Amino acid sequence: MLEEFVGETWHKFITKRADKSYPEAVVHLDEVRRTAGIFFRALGGEGGLRVENATDSEVHAKRTILQRIAGIADKTQYAWRDEETLRLPDSIALFPTRQLNLDLYLWLTALSVIDSNNATAKDWISRNQYCTLSTLAIWPGLKPRYDNLLQAHLQQRPDPKHLSKGEANQETAIQNALMDSDKAVQLQYAKRPPQPVPLWLHPSPPEEEFSNSIPPQDPDFDEAAQSKEQKKDQEKQQKRKQGKRTEMPDGNSGLMSFRLESLWSWAEYSKVDRTSTEDDDDNAMRTAEDMDSITVAQDSKTTSSKIKLDLDLPSSNYDDIVLGEGLPIDEWDYKQQRMQKDHCRLQTMVSRDAIPTELPERLRAQTHKVRRQFEVLKPQRVWKNRQNDGTELDLENYVNYLTDRKHGHVQSDTPVYRELRNQNRDLSCLLLADLSLSTDAHINNDSRVIDVIRDSLYLFSEALHATGDRFALHGFSSRNRNHVRFYNIKDFDENYNDEVRGHIDAVRPGYYTRMGAAIRHATEQLSKQATSQKLLLILTDGKPNDLDKYEGRYGIEDTRMAVLEAEKLGVRPFCVTIDEQAEDYLPYLFGSRSFVLIRNAAELPKKLPLLYLRLTKN
């Protein structure tokens, strides 16, 4: 115990003496992630770009003796961006004040808006000089912040007098480039690379990376807070790892060689089969959390106890019933900035296993409560006065007519009748449910996401049936652009009955989420309805994705274009999601007021009808 106490005390002492950061002024990316995204788009940056955590990268620059003893300052997190993401450090504590650390986040965000490919020279110093000059020229209001950051950072950089000749020339060139972004400098590489420049962007991804990070949650729609244990687990999962590839170890090497400095870190071989669909090795996960880097290798060995499964379509005898030959659907290619005509093929389908069924017993009490809430919206019979013809006289207007006639002010077309009419709500709603394979995930020990979606469809239908509103139910999934599955659960002209409940009961998860094609077809169905209000409710558990390049920004941009097309046709798209990462991409897809995140998936059946009530009460 005494040895442990002494060791821990020594570690704290030496680390505190060697650490040049300011933990008391730290600013975390989670605090500014949303602000950075808004700031980036406000400066004219691309709307589909995401702000995510950077990875740890090794620093080979010279360290002080105290830093080497403490084992710190050997890693940093470079800020950089690519086509789809802006990577910023998990936290910044470089400066003694929080304001400076916050300003550095904003400066890096502004710097990333500039396209460095327009720089004449291609070395990383000249490109950052070009981006710095361009940023200050376009947004001169940032200059005071940048000047404060520059002065604070120059004070932290090493003095060239204390460096070797090669390293001194290298450091002098970098400081000159920082102080005068318009001055061309030539970097002469020394034995050791220079200290990182946190005011600049890294020219490219520092390392190939692997990540299991989960973006932070923003309590917006759900009032329930997470427990401390859940937050602790998320903090562990947010740690990003560097990755590299190597040959598969054979395990037959008799000797193991190592360098002494490797004692300060460790690595372990853990066989994790990423080619199989079920591999829940908790020990492997704990191992990965403790490792500094993750190395992957391709195992060429085969096993006799595995059956290779392909995500393919079932036989036509077992698959759902296809209606028609398929419909051509356009798709937006954001790279080429053009609409690809008839790029997708949408198959309308109905479930083969659907049999008429009654409402499940578990939902009877909740259904009764929902019906009572929605009966107030049921069409009422009201008298329409001042009609040219009707079932009886409008006495008030008839008396006024006789009075005007007596005084010689008679108009022959004065309406003096009234009629009893139904006061209908002039709206149509189409609910489009995501039935991708991810909905097969469990939300607790008793139910899966698809079970929650099924119950939501039941209660939603019961609520709208009570109001008499026109509504349709459809589901969708996809396997590639040539096979987008669009399920008919209930059309607008169908009555809600046991047959429709049978189709709801038969929904099953499968395949991927090509959302753009499904939204375009749903929009076409809604636009045919002769109502003044048209609401498209999209129920999903994740972001758009599919095979054949639909993953990532391509799918995001196509879905956003489909949403914009729907709005131009008078359709109001609104997304309801249970995806914890939705705050990162749904504001860009639907707008900040056209989506809602339900953090507790089990509450979706109860909240969906109430959400519809809120959206259509006017």
Q: Are residues 367 and 418 in the same domain?
A: no
489/500 Cα distance (integer angstroms): 6
Q: Label residue 419 exposed, middle or buried (CB < 10 Å: 0-12, 13-18, 19+).
A: middle
pLDDT score, position 220: 37
- The answer to the question of residue 247 being in a domain is no
Q: Are residues 331 and 187 in the same domain?
A: no
| Single-letter code of the amino acid located at 20 | K
d(CA 592, CA 584): 11
Give yes or no: residues 119 and 202 share one domain: yes
pLDDT at 297: 61
pLDDT of residue 407: 75
Across the chain, mean pLDDT equals 79
Tell me the pTM. 0.62
In this predicted structure, what is the pLDDT of residue 117? Answer: 77
Residues 461 and 486 in one domain: yes
pLDDT for the residue 286: 54
Residue 210 burial (10 A CB sphere; 0-12, 13-18, 19+): middle
Q: What is the pLDDT of residues 396-451, one digit of tens each?
A: 777 777 777 777 776 666 776 777 655 567 889 999 999 999 999 888 777 899 99
**Domain annotation covers residue 57:** yes
pLDDT of 542 above 60 = yes
3-state secondary structure of 490: strand
Only one residue has tokens 């600049």, namely 200
What pLDDT sits at residue 257?
43
- Determine the pLDDT at residue 9: 77
Are 37 and 83 within one domain? Answer: yes
307 within some domain: no
Q: Which of 171-180, 294-303, 337-346 has the highest mean pLDDT?
A: 337-346
Say whether both 358 and 397 belong to one domain: no
Q: In what order do the strands lie in the sheet with 380-387?
A: 380-387, 417-423, 392-393
pLDDT score at 147: 93
In a domain, 264, yes or no: no
The pLDDT of residue 294 is 61
pLDDT in tens, 490-507: 999 999 999 999 999 999
- Which of 175, 192, 212, 197 lies closest to 76 in space, CA to CA? 197
Mean predicted confidence (pLDDT) in 328-336: 93
- What confidence tens digit (pLDDT) does each residue in 179-200 have? 988 888 777 777 788 888 999 9
pLDDT of residue 382: 59
Sign of CA dihedral 94, 96, 99, 100: negative
The model's pLDDT over 208-246, given as tens digits with 9 standing for 90+, comes to: 433 333 333 333 333 343 444 444 444 444 555 555 555
Q: Is the pLDDT of residue 310 over 50?
A: no
Whether 194 maps to a domain, the answer reads yes
- Pick from 150, 180, 210: which residue ends a domain? 210
Q: 388 and 488 share a domain?
A: no
Q: How many CB atoms lie within 10 A of CB 345?
A: 16
pLDDT at res. 318: 59
DSSP bridge pairs for 513: 545
Residues 328 and 473 occupy one common structural domain:
yes
pLDDT of residue 51: 86
3-state secondary structure 99-152: HHHHHHHHHHHHHHHCCHHHCCCCCHHHHHHHHHHHHHHHCHHHHHHHHHHHHH
Instruction: Name 56's Cβ contacts closer than 8 Å, sequence gap at least 6.
Output: 75, 76, 77, 240, 241, 242, 292
Structural domain contains residue 462: yes
What CATH number does the domain containing 488 carry? 3.40.50.410
Domain that holds residue 124: 2-210
pLDDT over 60 at 120, yes or no: yes
Closest CA to 574 of 546, 595, 550: 595
- Where a domain ends, among 210, 232, 265? 210
To the nearest 10°, the Cα dihedral for 445, 448, 449, 451?
Answer: -120
Supply the pLDDT for residue 229.
Answer: 44
Least Cα distance to 547 among 521, 520, 512 occurs for 512
Instruction: Tell me: do 441 and 418 sit in the same domain.
Output: no
Please say if the pLDDT value at position 604 is more than 80.
yes
pLDDT at 343 over 90: yes
**How many domains does the chain divide into?**
3
- Residues 514 and 550 sit within 8 Å (Cβ to Cβ): yes
Q: Are residues 360 and 395 in the same domain?
A: no
pLDDT of residue 476: 96
Q: Which residue has the higher pLDDT, 139 or 59?
A: 139
Q: What pLDDT shows up at residue 354?
A: 87
How many whole angstroms separate alpha carbon 441 and alpha carbon 44? 38
Across 286-291, average pLDDT: 54
What pLDDT is attached to residue 492? 94
Judgement on whether residues 404 and 544 belong to the same structural domain of the protein: no
Q: Is 408 helix (H, G, I), strand (E, B) or coil?
A: coil
Boundary of a domain, candidates 359, 392, 423 = 423
In this structure, are 403 and 431 located in the same domain? no
> In the predicted model, what is the mean pLDDT of residues 256-263?
41
